[in-house]
Amino acid sequence: MDSMELKYGCNPNQKPARIYTQRGNLPLKVLNGNPGYINLLDALNGYQLVSSLEKAVGLPSAASFKHVSPAGAAVGLPLSEVERKMYFVSKTTELSPLASAYTRARGADRMSSFGDFVSLSSVCDLSTARCIKAEVSDGVIAPGYTEEALALLKAKRNGTYTVLEIDASYTPEDRETRTVYGITFEQGRNQVVLDQSVLKPIVTDNTNLPNTAKIDLVVALTALKYTQSNSVCYAKNGQTIGVGAGQQSRIHCTRLAGDKADLWHLRQSEAVLSLPFLPKLSRNDKDNAIEQYLNDHPETSLFEHEDWKRYFTECPRPFTSEEKATYLKQQKGVALASDAFFPFRDNIDRAHRSGVSYIVQPGGSVRDDLVIEACNQYDMVMVSNSIRLFHH
C-alpha cells in the first residue's frame, strides 16, 4: 500500500484525509505545492479525459477542471487571429500544439475556469507553461515537464503552485470502488473507447459528417465521459464551447451549455473584440467586463453610475439584444453530444438556436422518432450510437 496524506477532505472539517492504493505505488508525484482532495479529484478526472482524447484524435490535449467537471477541453489545433484575440494571446506569441490545446481549453469558458486545475496529455513544454503562468489556476498534472517549464511553474503563486507528475504507463484495475455512508459500491471501470468509430449509425436524412465535425463530436463525447451527469456538451474547432453539467433535467443541460456556447460565439464579435479596455486591466477583469457587457440589462448595467470607468477608457456602445440575436443566427457548424438520450424535441430546438449542425447521443427514447424529425427539419446530422456516458 502507498498513501499520501492531505490537509483535509472536501471541506476543512473533514479530517483525516488521504489518497492511497491497495496494491503497488501511487502513480503520481508531487513536484511542487500541496494538493488538496478536490485538486486530486480534478487532476485524475482531467488526466483521464486528456489522455483518452489524445489517443482518439492523435493531437495533444488539455482540460480545465473545476469541481470535478471540465470547464473546457480541447485538442491542439492552431488558433485563428480572432481566437488569439479573444483568448488574449498576442499575434507574435508562438504556441506549441499543447499550448494551443491549453489556450482553447482555458478559453472555452473563462469565467468558470478561474482557479481551475489543468490537465495535459503530454510533456509540458515552456510554451504551455508560459500560458499557464498567465492565468489564475490551482495546479497542473502532466506526464512530465521540461526543465524550463517546471522551473517556471514552481515559481507561480510565490512558489506554492501545485505541480503533479503522473506515470503515463499506469493502468488502473478493472474494478473501482467508492464508499457512501459507510457502504462500499463497486463497478467495472468505464473503459469504452470514444473515437470516430462510435459515430454511427447516422439516423437522419442528412448523413454528411465532415472530418472537422467528427473531431468535435469526439471532443464533446470524451468531455462528457468525465462530466457530472446529466450533461450536454457543445464543441467547435476542436474544443468544447459550452458544458452543461450536473442538471436533473436534460433540457436544462442543453440550455445551460447552449447559453455558454452563445457567449463563446459573442466573444468573437467585433462589438466585443473592439472594447476599449483600460491599458493595464488584468485578464480576469477583462473577463468580468465582457461577461457584464454581454449580459447587460437594467439591473446590472455597466452604463449606469459610470461603472464602465472601472474597465474602459470610454463608455462602450451597448450591444443590443437584437444585434446579439442577429449575430448568433449566423453561427453554424457546432457539434453537440449528450450523455443520455433526448426525451423530447425541445432539446433539438434549443440546440438549433446555438448553431448546432451535428449531434451524437445514445438514442433509445420512446420519442426518438420526434427527435429525429426535429433534426431533419433543421437539416442536422444525428448519430444514435447507444453509448450512455453517465458519470457520478
Cα end-to-end distance, the chain, whole Å: 26
**Is the sign of the CA dihedral 84, 89, 95, 98 positive or negative?**
negative
Which tens digit of pLDDT belongs to each residue from 357-379?
999 999 999 999 999 999 999 99
pTM for the full predicted model:
0.95
Which tens digit of pLDDT belongs to each residue from 288-329?
999 989 987 655 566 666 788 889 999 898 898 899 999 999
Question: Is the pLDDT confidence value at 167 over 70?
Answer: yes
Residue listed under C-alpha cell 474602459: 312
Which residues does 322 contact at the CB level (< 8 Å), separation at least 6?
A: none
Cα–Cα–Cα angle for 352, 355, 361, rounded to 5 degrees = 60
Q: What confidence score (pLDDT) does residue 347 get?
A: 96
* Residue 392 bears catalytic tag: yes
* Residue 55 bears catalytic tag: no
Q: What confidence score (pLDDT) does residue 302 get?
A: 66
Nearest to 230 by CA among 372, 366, 362: 362
Q: Average the pLDDT over 270-282 and give the result.
A: 94
Neighbours of 144 (CB within 10 A): 16
Name the H helices within the chain: 37-57, 81-86, 97-107, 110-113, 126-133, 147-154, 211-225, 250-266, 270-273, 283-294, 321-329, 346-353, 368-377
Q: What confidence score (pLDDT) does residue 299 get?
A: 55
* Residue 32 bears catalytic tag: no
Nearest to 55 by CA among 220, 210, 195, 214: 195
Distance of alpha carbon 286 from alpha carbon 237, whole angstroms: 23
Neighbours of 220 (CB within 10 A): 33
Q: What is the dihedral of CA 198, 203, 207, 212, to 10 degrees?
A: -40
Cβ–Cβ under 8 Å, residues 4 and 19: yes
Q: Average the pLDDT over 325-342 and give the result.
A: 96
Which tens digit of pLDDT belongs to each residue from 212-246?
999 999 999 999 999 999 999 999 999 999 999 99
Distance of alpha carbon 256 from alpha carbon 251, whole angstroms: 8
Q: What confidence score (pLDDT) does residue 300 get?
A: 58
For 56, left (φ over 0), alpha (ψ -120 to 50), or beta?
alpha
Pairing state between β 116-120 and 137-142: parallel
Distance of alpha carbon 234 from alpha carbon 332, whole angstroms: 12
CA distances from 160 to 3, 44, 138, 375 (A): 21, 20, 9, 50
* Residue 297 bears catalytic tag: no
Which tens digit of pLDDT belongs to each residue from 39-84?
999 999 999 999 999 999 999 999 999 999 999 999 999 999 999 9
Query: Strand pairing partners for 178?
Result: 185
Which tens digit of pLDDT belongs to each residue from 79-108?
999 999 999 999 889 999 999 999 999 999
Q: Which long-range contacts (CB under 8 A, 24 or more apart) does 371-377 make?
A: 371/341, 371/342, 371/344, 371/345, 371/347, 372/203, 372/204, 373/345, 374/345, 374/348, 374/349, 375/204, 375/206, 375/348, 376/204, 376/205, 376/206
| Selected catalytic residue, list 67, 154, 252, 286 | 67
Q: Average the pLDDT over 332-342 and give the result.
A: 96
Cβ–Cβ under 8 Å, residues 232 and 249: no
| Selected catalytic residue, list 91, 280, 305, 392 | 392
| Selected catalytic residue, list 39, 45, 230, 237 | 230
Q: What confidence score (pLDDT) does residue 1 get?
A: 75
> What mean pLDDT, rounded, does the chain reach?
94
Distance of alpha carbon 50 from alpha carbon 34, whole angstroms: 23
Cβ–Cβ under 8 Å, residues 120 and 51: no
| Selected catalytic residue, list 32, 45, 66, 352 | 66
Which tens digit of pLDDT belongs to each residue from 12-32?
999 999 999 988 889 999 999
Q: What percent of the chain has pLDDT over 90?
A: 90
Neighbours of 36 (CB within 10 A): 19
Q: What confidence score (pLDDT) does residue 318 get?
A: 87
Question: Is the pLDDT confidence value at 209 over 80?
Answer: yes
Distance of alpha carbon 328 from alpha carbon 148, whole angstroms: 42
Residue 101 cell numbers, joined: 490545446
